[in-house]
Structure 1
Amino acid sequence: MRAARTLRFRGAAVAAPLLVALSAAVPAAADSVKLPAVRSALGADESCVAASGEQAGGLPWALAALGHARSLTLSQGAGVTVAVVDTGVSTTAAGLSGRVTALGGAGEDCVGHGTFAAGLIAAAGAADGGPAGLAPQAEILAVRGTDERGNTSAARVAQGIREAADAGASVIYVGVALAEGKAELTNAVGYASREDALVVAPLAPDTLPKDRATGDLVAAEPWYWPAAAPGVLAVTDYGPDGGRPDNAPVVSGADLAAPGDSVVGLGPRGKGHFIGSGASLAAAHTAGAAALVRARHPEMSAAEVSRQLTEAAYPAAPPRLDPYAALTAVLAENAGAVPRPARAVVPAAVSEEPRRRALVVAAVGAGVLLLVAALAVVVPRGRARGWRPAG
């Protein structure tokens, strides 16, 4: 666990906020327990998710824990495109209308997970509160990372990451975690990194599959992809009480933790809300925070944005996402994060010859002055005595 530290901010030195206490003090909306749960996949015989008839009022606990209102005074993600590689993003979803560009058929979302994640990233929110995204002015690029039912593969996700990078996304959110596909997904992430796109992905699946023979949950893998690939910002989740559900996959190696349990968001149809839990939703919040930083600091590279988010995070194990600190912290290690003073230039050594000449001239001048002074005394006295020697 990192030691507590004070971060240097522009204008003052302040301690990072205690996100654990804040999240525990702000419960989820009282009516959120009535909301239908968002899912990551549907069965072959299931129809597309229906519109929710329930709405959650008030400020969601996740936004309060992340200091959403303070962050918006500094950045709202304007000019940044966040790709959502998931089940698709509905182009008509409440809070996202007019800001979703879809590749292929990704503008329709039968499952609802991609739209839910996109809402956590960039939904405008409603005047009476309710779910909103961290970067409400960011643009969303919908990229198909699964089939219409939510089934996926490493090849499909890798293709989605490449398509997002080619389309100019500066932040690429991936909504799945796969136990296989190391080579394909690592190569795809490397391609995105060369295009200066930051890939954000869940550390592990939201839920583990069950063994068909025993019905028991399958043990978690040591790592999942693309989260384990170099250059990816791997994110795990926590809930309103600061902890994680008992049945959540336990995997080490997260770069950040963010609100992901009992999270309220929007659906692909209607104005109703859904509720969900898992690392994929924590990754969506982190992608929104990355959009805020990229909008405020366009000179930063994808790698520098990743460092800004992790180094400015609240010190814990793993560090907890703090968007406001990431927007204001000045990290000396981040080249380009703030203007640097001009490099000091030491002048070349001055030649000693002019100095020596000056000393010689001064010595000669002093000797001449002494001689003149002596003559001024001796000559008059000699004349007065007729140049006769003394007594």
Structure 2
Amino acid sequence: MTFQTVRATCTAIALAGLCCTLATVPAHADTPVGWEGQALGLSAAQQLSQGAGVTVAVLDTGAEADHPALKGRVTTGPDFLKDGLQSGDPEWGGHGTAMASDVLKVAPKAKVLSVRVINDEEDDETTYQELQELRKLGKSPIAEGIHYAVDHGADVISMSLGSADSWGADYSGEETSAVAYALEKGVPVLASAGNAGDEFNGTSYPAGYAGVIAVAATQQNGERADFSTVHTYNDVAAPGVAIMSARNTGGYEAVNGTSPACALAAGVVALMYAKNPDLTPAQVNNILIATTNRPPEGSSPLLGYGAIDAAAAVAAAASPPKDETAPIAHKGKEHLATPDGTPKTTHPDLEQGLWTTGLAAAGTGLALLAGGALLIRSGRRQPPAGTVNMPPPPGPYTG
């Protein structure tokens, strides 16, 4: 869930004016809208819908419901991370407060259900490993959060979070099943594509799970933000650079990442649902894709099918394409994929005899190769002192 922030000095006009406004003015203050408003076509979209009656579940680090940008519009759900932090702690709700405000920036009359499933230090290696251990035990806070959101009235699920492990070790069967549960219940799931585009560009989950709408990030000129992960699972893109967002300690700050891109996209989906509450997840996905500002080269792993056009998407929601993704009965022969009961996401243990024999053979081969390499290199110039090649650390949580 790493995201880069650019600290911005917020004008005191909005907050100072709030203290002397009339009682007829709503208790909340709108999050400032920057270049992302024009990029999304937000003004035109909000003339068609403002998200009334729609609940967006923000699965994140928690959201400070008393922030002026969120006040009266956020319900706080359970804390599935259970790390002892609480609302009011500076380390609680930093990222989640920002993301909730971005959703409401797009859909000001929507409601946010805040469910805490990660913390603001997921880029710390120790915390990352702890989350991995929870996953191995089948106790994914993310999966629990998805189930809770679906069972408590969420119309849309927004997850500005993800892993960036190059080897896909962050795949979770529990989370895959939870996503499937949400889709089956008619709740679309969006996730940030990841912020590893300028690093190792590893696969990011939950964006990589089937059925999830993965959102990449654009910069002000419409091109991909340098950090936005490049991958075939990318569906659409939204602004993700210098997005003014609420800060858990008060005020606002500019945020960079696929995290705000996902939150803004979830806000657009909220506008669509307010326009047509009968939309299915497949229809939401198809409408977002069909109405994008598609680049000349067409779809690509850079930005998926292109940047979201909020106004076009909301307008198209009124007459959606037919959903042909309903399940049908299987008419073929019965086939048992795992007759021995082995889970599909794990492998049986290696036979120790074969494993040790192979290891010994490999060790011998490596020793011979090393000796040969030393003989070949004996007359060559040695590398400079202090040159060390280190393997990369485990991928952090991004968003």
Q: Does 1:283 align with 2:262?
A: yes
Q: Does 1:145 align with 2:117?
A: yes
Shift of 1:308: 1.4
Which range moved further: 326-335 or 60-69?
326-335
Match of 2:51 among 77, 82, 92: 77
CA-based RMSD = 2.9
3-state SS, counterpart of residue 36 of structure 2: helix
1:112 paired with 2:125, answer no
| 2:293 corresponds to which of 294, 304, 314 | 314
Determine the structure 1 residue equivalent to 2:219: 239
| Contact 2:182/2:188, CA 8 A, preserved across alignment | yes
Whole-Å Cα distance in 1 between the matches of residues 185 and 59 of structure 2? 17
| Contact kept in structure 1, 2:276 and 2:317, CA below 8 Å | no
| Paired amino acid for 1:54 | C
For residues 309 and 91 of structure 1, the distance between their equivalents in structure 2, rounded to whole angstroms, comes to: 29
CA contact (8 A) 1:81 1:169 kept: yes
- Residue aligning to 2:177: 187
Q: Give the corresponding residue for 2:243.
A: 263
Quick one: distance in 2 between partners of 1:332 and 1:160? Answer: 32
Corresponding position of 2:322: 335
**Larger mean Cα displacement after TM superposition, 274-283 or 312-321:** 312-321
Task: Output the TM-score relative to the length of structure 2.
Answer: 0.62
Percent of pairs with identical residues: 32
**TM-score, length basis structure 1:** 0.63
Partners of 2:265 and 2:308 within 8 A in 1: yes
Tell me what 2:156 maps to: 171
Give the stretch that moved more between structures: 188-197 or 152-161.
152-161
In structure 2, the CA distance between the partners of 1:59 and 1:168, relative to structure 1 (3 Å rule), is closer
Question: Contact 2:275/2:317 (CA < 8 Å) preserved in 1?
Answer: no
Letter matched to residue 312 of structure 2: A
Deviation (angstroms), 1:184? 2.2
Aligned-partner Cα distance in 1 for 2:71–2:318: 36
- Which residue identity lines up with residue 256 of structure 1 in the other structure? V
Pairing partner for 1:299 from 278, 282, 298: 278
Q: CA shift at 1:250, angstroms?
A: 3.0
What's the CA shift for 1:148? 6.2
* Contact 2:95–2:120 (Cα < 8 Å) also in 1: no
CA shift for structure 1 position 323: 0.9
- In 2, distance between residues paired with 1:91 and 1:332? 35
What is the SS of the residue equivalent to 2:38? helix
Gaps of 5+ in 2: 14-31, 81-85, 324-399
Number of residue pairs matched by the alignment: 271
| Amino acid corresponding to residue 52 of structure 2 in structure 1 | A
Deviation string, structure 1 residues 9-68 (Cα, Å, up to 9, x no partner):
xxxxxxxxxxxxxxxxxxxxxxxxxxxxxx8489xxxxxx9x986349974000121111
Larger Rg: 1
State how far apart, in whole Å, the 1-side matches of 2:147 and 2:317 are. Answer: 32
